[in-house]
Amino acid sequence: MPFRYDKLFTLKMSALEDSINVKEINKPKSQPIFNRFLDFLSSVRFGIVLLCILVVLSILGMVIIQQNVQGFDAFYASLTPAERLVFGTLGLFDVYYSWYFSFFLLLLSLNIVLASIDHFPGAWSFIAKPKLDASRKWLLGQKQNAVVEMNGSLHENTERIKEVFRENGLNVKVSEKKGNTFVFGESGKWNRMGAYIVHVFLLTLFLGHFVALRTGFDADVSFTPGQVNNQIQIIQFNLDKKEKYNAQLPFTITCTDIQQKLINPGGEIDTTNTLDWRTQIRIDDPAYGVTTADISLNNPFSYRGYRFFQAQTIPVGSARTMKFELKPAEGGEPVALDLARNGTATLPNGTQVEYESFQPDFTLNGSNPDTKSAEYNNPAAVLKVTEPGKETIRVYAFANKLPDNAPINAPKAGYRWRLTEFEKAPFAHILSIKYDPFNAAFIAWYIGGFGLIFALIFVFFVSHRRIWALIEEKPGNQYEIVLGGNTNRNHLGFEDKFTKIVNSLTSKE
């Protein structure tokens, strides 16, 4: 029967078509769109892109003066109408409070959570189920590997390897598989969890600041001794416009004293001559009673979710304490008088002296005392003096000597008054009051911030080191030890450690 090439061709084509059909049937299906979207959200690349975007936005927030920063008015006025329109439309005058900054922060937080969920099982397996054995081929395929010949029994060689591993800071486990003995040593296995610890503190930092921004507020309040406040004025910025409204406090704040510690007591009250600013307050709270506080630069005060910081001063010269010399108009021994700001005193003859004001550069504005400048050019204390049975009069006491015949230096209440000494202090202190009902900012800075620092130190300065030793028996009571190891960080340090272990095993022979 003649051979039919057409049938053979038909059979081959049929087989080829069947093969193609099988491949088409076995072709893997693409993942659902939702799964691919989750993979994209949890990808490391996407997280890095989000982080770069937030860094760029933060740089813009530092380069462009923000609308709640002092000096914004002048900056805004210097811009062209086009710049104002573009910057305002993009929200670049208030970057950190913009919707897109919060959106990218939320996306980055979501990315961190999803990425942690995806990669955590693999990282946890290093701790829960460590790889205790390895084939000869796999061990020799490691970057750090060696083969050592050793004499003695299997037990002796195993104990010798265990001893060397422990001497080099490795935790040791011995196992057997398919007739082979394995010695496994590792250190720093918890470093595999370092990335997730970093993630936890990052999320704590993000969440704390987000909650603090959304639930709290900041306000700057001016305090002068004797001032009583049960409200604070909150300022909201809308570009170059400031909207102010009062917020009622659940307690009353009384400023009892302010002080500026100067390097040179005879110098000016500017920042270059200052060691510290101190503001003493008393809080009268119907629910908790009376609380006192001394607020300085490095000593903020926290109370019921309110945190008080030194912000700045109103650098108009004033006095905290004063000393006076009173010369009787009819002759006699001078009388010394000490008086505190807002204080009162009584003279030996019963005359009452009360502090009214202090003018660093005294002048008269009509009939009222005033100051020509904030500097101590012509300091004078303005006092209210009441003699027994008489009406209260105003007395001026100058630090500079005046002629006896000067009209303003005429005897008052039977004395010539002179200011001999005073402790310099500013007119007022400005405290920054931050309200954070959940202490979210505290959690963010101290727990999230410091935790992140220590977590990063743990991640970068601790490494997970693993070394395997496969003990293979050779003829003549000889054993061949196949060593291999790896690490996730500090490869140069691990190379030195591996070489030391190999040399120790060799020298013990």
pLDDT of residue 181: 95
Average of per-residue pLDDT across 164-188: 95
Torsional sign, CA 120, 166, 460, 49: negative
- 39: its two tokens: 């993979």
pLDDT of residue 246: 80
In this structure, of 340-349, 367-376, 403-412, 464-473, the range with the lowest mean pLDDT score is 403-412
In this structure, of 20-29, 130-139, 290-299, 424-433, the range with the lowest mean pLDDT score is 20-29
Question: CA 316, CA 463: separation in Å to the nearest integer?
Answer: 58
Percent pLDDT > 70 in the chain is 91
Question: CA 171, CA 461: separation in Å to the nearest integer?
Answer: 19
pLDDT of residue 425: 96
Strands (E), 297-334: 301-303, 306-328
pLDDT in tens, 405-460: 677 778 899 999 999 999 999 999 999 898 888 888 888 888 999 999 999 999 99
pLDDT at residue 127 above 70? yes
The CA-atom distances, in angstroms, between 147 and each of 20, 169, 282, 327, 497 are 50, 21, 77, 103, 16
Q: What is the largest CA-CA distance in the chain?
A: 160
pLDDT of residue 241: 63
In 344-449, alpha helices (H): 440-442
Write down the mean pLDDT value for the chain.
89
Name residue, tokens 């970093």: 198
Average of per-residue pLDDT across 474-495: 92
Average of per-residue pLDDT across 273-297: 96
Name residue, tokens 């390097």: 263
CATH 3.20.20.70 is the classification of domain 130-188+463-507: no
Domain boundaries, the chain: 33-118, 130-188+463-507, 215-315+429-438, 318-423
In this structure, of 132-136, 216-220, 368-372, 496-500, the range with the lowest mean pLDDT score is 216-220
Average of per-residue pLDDT across 128-150: 95
Task: Give which of 328, 418, 343 is closest to 384, Cα–Cα.
Answer: 343
pLDDT of residue 5: 45
Burial class (CB in 10 A: 0-12, 13-18, 19+), 448: buried
CB 412 within 8 A of CB 385: yes
Count the neighbouring beta carbons within 10 Å of the beta carbon of residue 223: 23
In this structure, of 21-30, 224-233, 301-310, 322-331, the range with the lowest mean pLDDT score is 21-30
pLDDT in tens, 356-405: 999 999 999 988 999 999 999 999 999 999 999 999 999 999 999 877 66
